[in-house]
């Protein structure tokens, strides 16, 4: 018996089968993802519980240290018995704490007393430090950071008296705690006796004057802290979720505190990750104790079917339904094929009879379509080539304008019909292009690219561009014109904007350097014709860099825009104000018969700039320095006007800023001298050309030398010994003063330490701090490095500051001064009384000494005003518990007056001029001193 042929699936059945399987799979994946989402939500909640438990444990440890810190921060003495009682309860309650410490800052001269105190607690105890071979007596140094209190002592005896000043991790954490005011954690370390991983929590203790006294610390066993935090929250009872905690942002095995199982997921292909999302792992970085802590949580593996019953059931049911549907569609398709075969046979004859009729109709449609396409092509070409199409008669009057002219141009078509172009465009024939256009039309010639300007019906200015061709009849007679027109307003406005941007400053809108040169040329041409002078003023803001550094460049831009507006308003409309670069502006002033030029105009500009400016919520006062070059004048040519104004401006800055100077030929020599000084100054440090001279500071009661001021000198191989007045200002402007000042600081400290080591008296050395150094971000690190490297006791260093350094922004200056004072150095205000400081600010500064400027001391014996000022400064300083040093004492009468009014110290030529290091050392070895008060009349002036 023959086999029945195997029938293939119909297209409909194949589509049904494929679609059903795809839909079943899609539903399975979708429902599976919903199940994964529910699992992920549940896991996220459980992971958050563990992160919260770890955070709470960390915060608990921080709170314990903060409470302990309060014991020392109230300023009252804390006995060892009180410390032991206080910490005993905390140790019982918090088993994860290994020990409580109090670290004390000890100076070198306090070491013996501190060791004696330690030996009363534990016989034989001395200051120790960690070495590769174990604990050893601490080496001599300027300052120690000693563990003074330890509880419990049992098991922690090795920490008692340990110097931690070389422990980088602890010192870094302490710096962070000082800045944040909160307990800060160190990096991990291993406890020697138990091998347990631990870390320190530290918090500084400050004195009443803001100096650092020491810090409290708690040694925390990290693994036990995390374990107790999770156990106390009942989160370690189940084994279906794993937790790992690291001391850092990354999962570093060396920083692992606790791990209950694997938490890092294995890498999977992208398709597998999409089909089966990873919902069972998370990593959270929390911050506590000034450090990041990474908490990783992962779920234990589970059987797939246990969590996906619904999606699996849906997949199996979908496959069954798809197979049944496919069978039904297959049977229906077979019947449909038989019907289609009959229909094809019946319609074949009908197609042949209709084919001829269709061919006739198609030929007619092609002809109509070609005509329609020809018309559409014409309209499209017109639309693409221009915005509108126009026609004129033989009298050049408009007869037709199409292409949406009214909507595109803003001008009603009715207002143009019957008019010529020059009738609806006023002034067209007044221009050369308009007249040329009329000549072409009268000559019956074509024209292209005619541009003209009109005002539309809304009052807006527009620019049009038109092209036209003449129309002739068969006999050659002119019938009119036809052409196209375009609106080119946007292009014209863009050209104007580009032209404006090319010649104006983008920020202030003032003319830039390019337009300035053009205006200057016009002004000089006018001066040559009229015989009247032209002034060129170069204006430079005095404190613009400070605004940029303290408030940001956005505030600097606001200040520049404000100053530009004030400059424009303070000068005449005929004058030119341009921005040259940065914070430099140039003004060109021409003289007229009714408006002569005089210095009052320059002063008016300075007064306008000096008005207060609100930047954010702060009020700033910004002054300017102005240099003026006059044309024509001796030594000033037209090519060098701006250059000479710049030279005069630098002269104004050198004279103290906030003033103006007119250029003179002598200034050019000074400018060349400045260039020579700057060039040589850049190599002076490398060539070891700087030297320090030292001027003694003498106590007026005992007559003994108690200190000296370090003064820089430049021993140039060609110029000889260059005084500071010739190069310090240049170094300040170029920024070289920072490197030079650092050299002065380190050299003065090293010299003072060398003299002390040689057995000479213990003196303090005073070093001036420049404005650039005071604003340097690494000032504190530089000071600390100089003291540490030279070994000088901070108490033997005095930093001299001028009032202008910190009067511009008092709040951050006060903070910086307190941080400098915390290093142990002395602070003095130099040239007191010559600045602009307020006495109310003076009480906020941690200052030790006021130095009376020599300008007041010079005339105290015959000028009542200067004498009253000096007396007031001495009384003010003593009321504030400050010492007073008078500078520039040159006569016995001045010395008597200062002594009689209670001045503490003096320096000046009466006792000694600044001396090289070798001469100053001889002065110390000779034990030279001021004569006693009753013998001063017989003393002679020293050489």
What average pLDDT does the segment 392-414 reach?
A: 84
Using alpha carbons, select from 928, 929, 930, 866 the residue that is nearest to residue 901.
Answer: 866
Residue 793 reports pLDDT greater than 60? yes
**What is the reported pLDDT for 227?**
86
Taken in order 675, 680, 686, 690, is the CA torsion positive or negative? negative
What average pLDDT does the segment 97-121 reach?
A: 90
CB neighbours (10 Å) of residue 670?
13
Token pair, residue 632, equals: 């024509």
Residue 279 reports pLDDT greater than 80? no
Token pair, residue 670, equals: 């000074």
What DSSP line would sit under 882-935, residue for residue? -EEEEE---SHHHHHHHHHTT--EEESTTT---EEHHHHHHHHHTT--PPPGGG
The residues that bridge with 534 in the sheet, in sequence order, are: 590, 631
Q: How far is CA 704 from CA 207, 700, 905, in A?
A: 32, 8, 10
What average pLDDT does the segment 689-700 reach?
A: 93
CB neighbours (10 Å) of residue 438?
16
d(CA 641, CA 441): 53
Q: How confident is the model over 731-745, as pLDDT tens digits?
A: 877 778 888 999 999
Parallel/antiparallel/unpaired status of strands 291-299 and 281-288: antiparallel
Parallel/antiparallel/unpaired status of strands 212-221 and 197-206: antiparallel
Residue in the block written with tokens 């050369």: 432
The residues that bridge with 541 in the sheet, in sequence order, are: 624
**Residues in Cβ contact with 598 at an 8 Å cutoff, skipping those fewer than 6 apart:** none
Angle, in degrees to the nearest 10, between helices 892-900 and 864-879? 40
Using alpha carbons, select from 469, 352, 912, 917 the residue that is nearest to residue 691.
Answer: 917
What average pLDDT does the segment 68-96 reach?
A: 85
Measured in Å, how far apart are the chain's first and last C-alpha atoms?
Answer: 145
Residue 683 reports pLDDT greater than 50? yes
Using alpha carbons, select from 447, 402, 583, 434 the residue that is nearest to residue 507.
Answer: 583
Query: What is the b/e burial string over 798-817, where b = at least 16 CB atoms within 10 angstroms of the residue's CB?
Result: bbbbbbebbebeeeebbebb
Using alpha carbons, select from 621, 53, 16 the residue that is nearest to residue 322.
Answer: 16
**What is the reported pLDDT for 566?**
93
Residue 940 reports pLDDT greater than 50? no
Return phi, psi of residue 594, to 5°: -90, 0
Q: How confident is the model over 492-531, as pLDDT tens digits?
A: 887 777 777 777 888 888 998 888 888 888 888 888 888 8
Residue in the block written with tokens 């006023």: 426
Residue 818 reports pLDDT greater than 70? yes
**What is the reported pLDDT for 673?**
64
**What is the reported pLDDT for 672?**
64
Q: Strand runs (DSSP E) across 423-460, as ranges?
A: 447-455
What average pLDDT does the segment 67-76 reach?
A: 82
Global pTM reads 0.41
The residues that bridge with 299 in the sheet, in sequence order, are: 241
Q: How confident is the model over 18-64, as pLDDT tens digits?
A: 888 888 888 888 877 787 778 878 778 888 888 888 888 888 888 88
Using alpha carbons, select from 898, 917, 921 the residue that is nearest to residue 908.
Answer: 898
Q: Tell how far CA 502 is from the center of its chain.
A: 30
pLDDT winner (highest mean) among 292-301, 312-321, 738-747: 738-747
H or E stretch covering 939: none
Q: How confident is the model over 848-895, as pLDDT tens digits?
A: 999 998 888 988 988 888 888 899 889 988 988 899 999 999 999 999
CB neighbours (10 Å) of residue 493?
12
Token pair, residue 433, equals: 């292009």
């Amino acid at each position: 018996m023959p086999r029945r042929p195997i029938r293939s699936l119909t297209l409909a059945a194949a589509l049904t089968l494929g679609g059903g399987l795809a839909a079943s799979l899609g539903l399975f994946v979708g429902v599976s993802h919903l199940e994964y989402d529910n699992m992920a939500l549940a896991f996220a909640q459980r992971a958050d519980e563990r992160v919260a438990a770890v955070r709470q444990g960390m915060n608990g440890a921080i709170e314990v240290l903060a409470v302990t810190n309060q014991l020392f921060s109230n300023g009252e003495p804390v006995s060892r018995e009180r410390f032991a009682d206080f910490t005993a309860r905390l140790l019982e309650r918090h088993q994860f704490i290994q020990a409580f410490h109090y670290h004390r800052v000890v100076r070198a001269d306090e070491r013996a007393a501190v060791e004696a105190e330690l030996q009363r607690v534990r016989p034989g105890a001395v200051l120790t430090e960690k070495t590769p071979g174990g604990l050893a007596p601490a080496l001599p140094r300027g300052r120690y950071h000693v563990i003074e209190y330890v509880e419990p002592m049992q098991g922690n005896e090795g920490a008692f008296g340990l110097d931690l000043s070389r422990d980088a991790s602890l010192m870094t954490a302490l710096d962070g705690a000082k800045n944040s005011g909160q307990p800060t954690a160190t990096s991990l370390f291993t406890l020697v006796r138990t091998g347990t991983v631990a870390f320190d929590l530290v918090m500084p203790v400050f004195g009443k004057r803001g100096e650092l006294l020491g810090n409290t610390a708690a040694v925390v066993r990290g693994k036990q802290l995390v374990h107790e935090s999770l156990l106390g929250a009942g989160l370690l009872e189940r084994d279906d979720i794993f937790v790992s905690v690291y001391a850092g942002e990354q999962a570093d095995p060396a920083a692992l505190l606790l791990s209950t199982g694997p938490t890092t997921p294995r890498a999977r292909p992208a398709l597998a990750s999409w089909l089966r999302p990873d919902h069972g792992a998370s990593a959270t970085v929390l911050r506590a104790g000034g450090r990041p802590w990474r908490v990783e949580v992962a779920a234990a593996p589970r059987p797939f079917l246990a969590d996906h019953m619904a999606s699996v059931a849906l997949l199996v049911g979908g496959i069954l339904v798809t197979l049944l549907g496919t069978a039904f569609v297959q049977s229906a398709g077979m019947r449909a094929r038989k019907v289609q075969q009959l229909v094809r046979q019946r319609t074949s004859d009908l197609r042949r009879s209709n084919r001829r009729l269709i061919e006739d109709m198609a030929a007619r449609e092609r002809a109509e379509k070609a005509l329609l396409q020809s018309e559409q092509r014409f309209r499209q070409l017109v639309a693409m080539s221009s915005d509108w199409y126009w026609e004129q008669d033989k009298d050049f009057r408009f007869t037709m304008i199409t292409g949406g002219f009214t909507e595109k141009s803003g001008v009603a078509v009715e207002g143009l019909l019957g008019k010529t172009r020059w009738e609806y465009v006023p002034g067209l024939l007044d221009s050369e292009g308009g007249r040329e256009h009329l000549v072409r039309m009268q000559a019956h010639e074509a024209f292209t690219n005619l541009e003209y300007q009109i005002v539309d019906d809304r009052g807006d200015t527009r620019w049009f561009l038109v092209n036209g061709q003449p129309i002739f009849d068969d006999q050659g007679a002119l019938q009119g014109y036809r052409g196209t027109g375009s609106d080119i307003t946007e292009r014209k406005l863009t050209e104007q904007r580009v032209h404006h941007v090319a010649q104006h400053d983008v920020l202030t809108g003032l003319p830039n350097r390019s337009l300035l040169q053009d205006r200057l040329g016009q002004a000089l041409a006018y001066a040559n014709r009229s015989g009247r002078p032209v002034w060129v003023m170069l204006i430079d803001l005095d404190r613009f860099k400070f605004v940029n550094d303290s408030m940001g460049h956005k505030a600097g831009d606001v200040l520049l825009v404000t100053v530009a507006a004030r400059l424009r308003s303070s000068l005449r409309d005929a004058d030119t104000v341009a921005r040259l670069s940065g914070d430099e502006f140039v003004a060109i002033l021409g003289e007229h018969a009714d408006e002569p030029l005089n210095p009052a105009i320059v002063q008016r500009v300075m007064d306008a700039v000096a008005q207060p400016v609100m930047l954010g919520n702060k009020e700033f006062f910004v002054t300017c320095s102005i240099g003026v070059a006059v044309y024509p004048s001796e030594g000033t040519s037209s090519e060098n006007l701006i250059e000479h104004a710049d030279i005069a401006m630098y002269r104004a800055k050198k004279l103290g800023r906030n003033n103006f100077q007119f250029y003179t030929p002598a200034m050019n020599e000074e400018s060349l001298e400045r260039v020579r000084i700057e060039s040589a100054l850049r190599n002076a440090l490398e060539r070891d050309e700087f030297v320090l001279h030292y001027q003694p500071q003498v106590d007026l009661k005992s007559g003994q030398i108690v200190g000296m001021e370090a003064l820089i000198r430049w021993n140039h191989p060609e110029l000889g010994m260059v005084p500071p007045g010739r190069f310090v200002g240049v170094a300040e402007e170029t920024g070289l003063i920072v490197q030079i000042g650092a050299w002065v600081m380190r050299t003065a400290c090293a010299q003072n330490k060398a003299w002390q080591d040689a057995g000479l008296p213990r003196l303090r050395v005073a070093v001036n701090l420049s404005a650039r150094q005071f604003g340097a971000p690494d000032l504190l690190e530089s000071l600390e490095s100089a003291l540490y490297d030279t070994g000088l006791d901070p108490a033997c260093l005095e930093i001299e500051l001028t009032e202008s350094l910190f009067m511009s922004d008092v709040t951050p200056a006060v903070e910086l001064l307190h941080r400098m004072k915390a290093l142990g150095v002395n602070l003095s205000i130099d040239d007191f009384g010559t600045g602009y400081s307020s006495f109310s600010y003076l009480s906020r500064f941690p200052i030790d000494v006021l130095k009376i400027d020599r300008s007041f001391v010079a005339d105290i014996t015959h000028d009542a005003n200067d004498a009253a000022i000096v007396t007031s400064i001495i009384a003010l300083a003593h009321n504030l518990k400050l010492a007073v040093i008078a500078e520039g004492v040159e006569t016995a009468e001045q010395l008597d007056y200062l002594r009689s009014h209670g001045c503490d110290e003096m320096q000046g030529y009466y006792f000694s001029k600044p001396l090289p290091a070798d001469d100053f050392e001889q002065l110390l070895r000779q034990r030279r001193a001021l004569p006693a008060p009753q013998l001063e009349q017989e003393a002679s002036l020293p050489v």
